[in-house]
Structure 1
Amino acid sequence: MTAKYSDDEVEKVPEDSTPVNDPFGNEETGEVKYRVMKWWNAGMLMAAENVSLGVLSLPSAVATLGIVPTLLIILGISGISWYTGYVMMQYKLRFPQVHSMGDAGELMFGKIGREICYVGQILFMIFLMSSHILTFTVTFNTITNHGTCSLVFGVVGMILSFICTLPRTSSKVFIMSVISCTSIVVATFVTMIAIGVQAPDDVVREITTKVPFADAFLAVTNIIFAYIAHVAFFGFMSEMEDVRDFPKSLAMLQIGDTTLYIVVSMVIYCYAGPDVESPALSSAGPMMKKVAYGLAIPTVIIAGVVFAHVTCKYIYVRIFRGEKAHHMHSNSLIGIGSWVAIGAAIWIVAWIIAESIPVFNELLSLICALFGSWFSFGLPAMFWLHMNKGEYFANNKKKFLLVVNLIILGIAFTICGLGLYVSGKAINESSSTASWTCANNAS
């Protein structure tokens, strides 16, 4: 029997309530325990996952769209992301057995829905991992002045990331996430200072711009990319001591990342002007961009590791859930060996994708359109519709939220359809001859 709570009862869940059908089973006697995270641990993990490569593409988005449109889009997407994250917490409380988007898909659409959502989320996070391998090659090509073949840097990045993925519990990844967040903040502030010092007096700053639709929407998807961490939220909630603390984690994430995004994107654009590079660290000048990329190395690796860890956990839980759950809580050959094998497999696939689509903005846009549109916007809206089926017009609050969630669902369709068009067009024009090459991919 599944414990269920209505939207109005979410805050009234008894303090001593135990989730039914918990994905990790009984942990009392296990060697490895998973449900140990405090709300600030989860918030930092979410920040490490979210505040990474997305922030590096935002200044170029400002250069394309202009200051005012970019600011409005950042604030709008942040608000929607905050709301959809809260809806996911409501869904988790309503159905405690949900550990992944696949579990949620099964509740809404049956076995077919489970497989579609499960495969989709795995591909989504592997694509995100690939974006970090790509950035790793750009980073070391920049620092070493293309010291060796880009393919070699890609392999090195893959191996380092795989090693960092070996811990099985999210609590152990928490320390790395703190380092990751510190790394990207320091790197971006060093970049802002360097660009400000060397900026010419005649920099052109556009409040609004006129650009082709494809270029404009490509920039919009790069902004949305900075808010597509929702795919991992169910996994993080499953490892929290108390899921009802998730709103604190969510607030920590949304306030922190939105503030950082606005400051970084506007300052770098205002000093670098319309010719700002993407990733933005490349605009810091010949010497300082090497320093900035060096400072960003922990983020380049660790943020990808957070995605990999969540991906491994989804596959791991699906394999051992139920009667075989004891393997997840033991240090046996099967328990450890399975985790290592899963990690190696997904990082190899991520490396293949990174070498196949080696262009930063276009890869981010493709990920956003194909996956982020649904996992951060479309599916959470469907969760609300599923939880409130038959009660859409029960009161004015329900009617208002029905309209809100239908609008969000429409936004997801728009991002997916138009995003696939503009990213596909850009990839075809930018990278058709650049895949699987030793050439320098740094600006």
Structure 2
Amino acid sequence: MATNLDYTDEKQEPVIYSSDGVNAANYDSQSSINTITALVAEDHGHDIQLRTMSWQKAAWLLCGDQVCLAIMAQSWSLSVLGWVPGIITMVLAGILFWITSMTMWRFIMKYPQIKDICDLAYYACGKSNVAYEFAGFMLLANNILLIGFHVLTGAKVINTLSDHSLCTVVFSVIVTLMGIVMSIPRTLKHVSFMSMFSASCMAIAILLFLVFSGIEAAPLYGYNGDYPTDGAVRTYAFPIAGTTWVACMNAVLNITFLWVPQILFPTFISEMEKPQDFPKSLAVLAGISAFLFIVPPAIGFRYLGQYATAPAFGSLGVVAYKKASFAFVIVPTLVIGVIYANVSAKFIYFRVMGKSRHAHSNTVIGWGVWMLVMSVTWLLAFIFAEVIPSMGDFLSLLGAAFDSFFGFIFFAVAYWQMHQGNLFGGVGRSIMTVVHAFVMLCGLFLLGPGLYAAVKAIMADYATSVTPAFSCANVSI
């Protein structure tokens, strides 16, 4: 089966037929499998082979991306929303994550040449170049800001462990340089090995936090003051009196941000040797996420109550406990930054290299361009980490402005593209159509009221004292 696999020529829709000759979106059609086989064969003829991940390695990569510091911000979300709205939001976000991820995978199996979220947007929007460029801009903006957040987090970790022994900018430079070095591998298969250690270290950090929060006498402080300024530790079913709508919306955005990693999934799938096995990897991730995204935050809320901070490590009352648990966060901080940098750099790299043999060969030019793109990516992230006064608020902004598309809107549109003309063909299809209409409404809600709440939070931060750019101020938790 002859295929032209050059990046710039891959936007050619494969026609997939069922046995009766009717066009079909069925992911396991023989034509689709043949296309995947041809893509893998072509890739394996290159010096640098990308399509090499097994579903097990993909599962580790997914877990390395998802088992992250954001888990430790969920106790704060519960402290704002209360048990009932908080747990409902978490469970609903998890269900929608599974549904949209499976829709994304089925769509990619219909178009196996998709290499990233931008290609998915191109096909989902009727082969629109405008959608492709728009998604490309959002991909880079989202990922570079997220890498910047991890640069800042790394500086926080080192500040906390060293008792602010050096200027914070110096720590940020150290983290940035470490990130560049760790980002040298070109294939996600190699990055997946890092992800094993990343997920393990984050799990240890969470476990230590849970133990320490349970055995300490009282938390250290919360956003309303040092313990016991706001009274004894308590939990509650619903938001306490005085909680603003903006605070509740930002807590919801905090939860959805954790559950919306699909911006990376198309790139992960494109580097699997058998993309048809992706649901196995996704099932592993969903099982681990369902536990880690709900149980540890719930335990944290139980012991910290209204004193929960984001991340929850900051609420620990014993400094030694805080340092012992927070120290393990440095590994996932760097590795997750590497994952986002890899996906971002590949989007730029293949557009720059085009059909050149350097794109997939071990040449000086190929590696030189790769290192240049990667270095610029981390440098931009470093600048954002230094000039933005509150990365937490900007993550809420990302969740509203970008995750509304990457986690909801694009996949509702992709579902419509796959099944247009037969949206209500049977009970099962009708139910899924209604579900994806709800997915679209969720995306629009995040893009509208969610974006408003995020902007209001940023405006409130700017109205108060903010940390100047490239500051040496102590950012320890």
Counterpart of 1:17 in 2: which secondary structure? Answer: helix
The question of whether the paired residues in 2 share the 8 Å contact of 1:131 and 1:363 is answered with no
Is the aligned partner of 1:327 residue 2:358?
yes
Is the aligned partner of 1:233 residue 2:276?
no
1:270 aligned partner: 302
The question of whether the paired residues in 2 share the 8 Å contact of 1:106 and 1:114 is answered with yes
The Cα shift of 1:270 comes to 0.7
2:380 aligned partner: 349
Q: Give me the TM-score of the superposition, normalised by structure 2.
A: 0.87
Cα distance in 2, alignment partners of residues 53 and 367 from structure 1: 16
2:35 aligned partner: 18
The Cα shift of 1:7 comes to 6.8
The question of whether the paired residues in 2 share the 8 Å contact of 1:221 and 1:365 is answered with yes
The Cα RMSD (Å) is: 2.1
Amino acid at match of 1:247: P
The question of whether the paired residues in 2 share the 8 Å contact of 1:237 and 1:243 is answered with yes
Deviations 1:172-206 (A, max 9, x none): 11110001100111001101111111144952111
Cα distance in 2, alignment partners of residues 16 and 414 from structure 1: 37
The question of whether the paired residues in 1 share the 8 Å contact of 2:16 and 2:24 is answered with no
Count of matched residue positions in the alignment of Structure 1 and Structure 2 = 440
The question of whether the paired residues in 2 share the 8 Å contact of 1:100 and 1:118 is answered with no
The question of whether the paired residues in 2 share the 8 Å contact of 1:135 and 1:360 is answered with no
**Structure label with greater radius of gyration:** 2
Cα distance in 1, alignment partners of residues 24 and 91 from structure 2: 26
1:307 aligned partner: 340
Is the aligned partner of 1:288 residue 2:321?
yes
Cα distance in 2, alignment partners of residues 369 and 133 from structure 1: 22
Is the aligned partner of 1:224 residue 2:259?
no
The question of whether the paired residues in 2 share the 8 Å contact of 1:199 and 1:271 is answered with no
Taking the TM superposition and a 5 Å limit, the aligned residue runs for 1:137-152 are 137-152=155-170
CA 1:16 to 1:405, structure 2 compared with 1: closer, same or farther past 3 Å?
closer
The question of whether the paired residues in 1 share the 8 Å contact of 2:359 and 2:366 is answered with yes
Deviations 1:269-304 (A, max 9, x none): 111121112111222331111111211110111111
Deviations 1:15-46 (A, max 9, x none): 96233884x88224322111110111111111
1:297 aligned partner: 330
Is the aligned partner of 1:440 residue 2:471?
no
1:50 aligned partner: 66
Cα distance in 1, alignment partners of residues 345 and 361 from structure 2: 16
Cα distance in 2, alignment partners of residues 160 and 407 from structure 1: 42
Structure 1 residue runs of 5 or longer lacking an equivalent are none
Deviations 1:62-115 (A, max 9, x none): 111112221111110011011111111111111111111221222225111111
Q: Which has the higher mean CA deviation after the structures are superposed, 329-338 or 76-85?
A: 329-338
1:418 aligned partner: 449
2:424 aligned partner: 393
Q: Which has the higher mean CA deviation after the structures are superposed, 135-144 or 431-440?
A: 431-440
2:109 aligned partner: 93
The question of whether the paired residues in 1 share the 8 Å contact of 2:345 and 2:373 is answered with yes
The question of whether the paired residues in 1 share the 8 Å contact of 2:72 and 2:312 is answered with yes
The question of whether the paired residues in 2 share the 8 Å contact of 1:66 and 1:209 is answered with yes
1:69 aligned partner: 85
Is the aligned partner of 1:204 residue 2:234?
yes
Cα distance in 2, alignment partners of residues 373 and 259 from structure 1: 24
Is the aligned partner of 1:249 residue 2:265?
no
Cα distance in 2, alignment partners of residues 3 and 41 from structure 1: 30
1:135 aligned partner: 153
1:2 aligned partner: 14
CA 1:137 to 1:327, structure 2 compared with 1: closer, same or farther past 3 Å?
same
The question of whether the paired residues in 2 share the 8 Å contact of 1:222 and 1:361 is answered with no
The question of whether the paired residues in 2 share the 8 Å contact of 1:155 and 1:351 is answered with yes
CA 1:200 to 1:154, structure 2 compared with 1: closer, same or farther past 3 Å?
closer
Is the aligned partner of 1:155 residue 2:173?
yes
1:180 aligned partner: 198
The question of whether the paired residues in 2 share the 8 Å contact of 1:204 and 1:274 is answered with yes
Deviations 1:139-171 (A, max 9, x none): 112111122222221121111111111100111
CA 1:292 to 1:360, structure 2 compared with 1: closer, same or farther past 3 Å?
farther
Counterpart of 2:360 in 1: which secondary structure? Answer: coil
2:293 aligned partner: 261
The Cα shift of 1:401 comes to 2.2
Structure 2 residue runs of 5 or longer lacking an equivalent are 1-12, 18-22, 220-231
The Cα shift of 1:405 comes to 1.2
Cα distance in 2, alignment partners of residues 234 and 260 from structure 1: 24
The question of whether the paired residues in 1 share the 8 Å contact of 2:16 and 2:29 is answered with no
Cα distance in 1, alignment partners of residues 76 and 238 from structure 2: 14
% same residue: 28
Cα distance in 2, alignment partners of residues 252 and 299 from structure 1: 19
The question of whether the paired residues in 2 share the 8 Å contact of 1:27 and 1:33 is answered with yes
2:184 aligned partner: 166
Cα distance in 2, alignment partners of residues 161 and 226 from structure 1: 22
Deviations 1:343-394 (A, max 9, x none): 1111111112222224353132112112111101111111111122222233
The question of whether the paired residues in 2 share the 8 Å contact of 1:21 and 1:96 is answered with no
Cα distance in 2, alignment partners of residues 394 and 401 from structure 1: 11
The question of whether the paired residues in 2 share the 8 Å contact of 1:132 and 1:301 is answered with yes
Cα distance in 1, alignment partners of residues 235 and 44 from structure 2: 60
Q: Give me the TM-score of the superposition, normalised by structure 1.
A: 0.94
CA 1:15 to 1:400, structure 2 compared with 1: closer, same or farther past 3 Å?
closer
The question of whether the paired residues in 1 share the 8 Å contact of 2:16 and 2:32 is answered with no
CA 1:441 to 1:428, structure 2 compared with 1: closer, same or farther past 3 Å?
farther
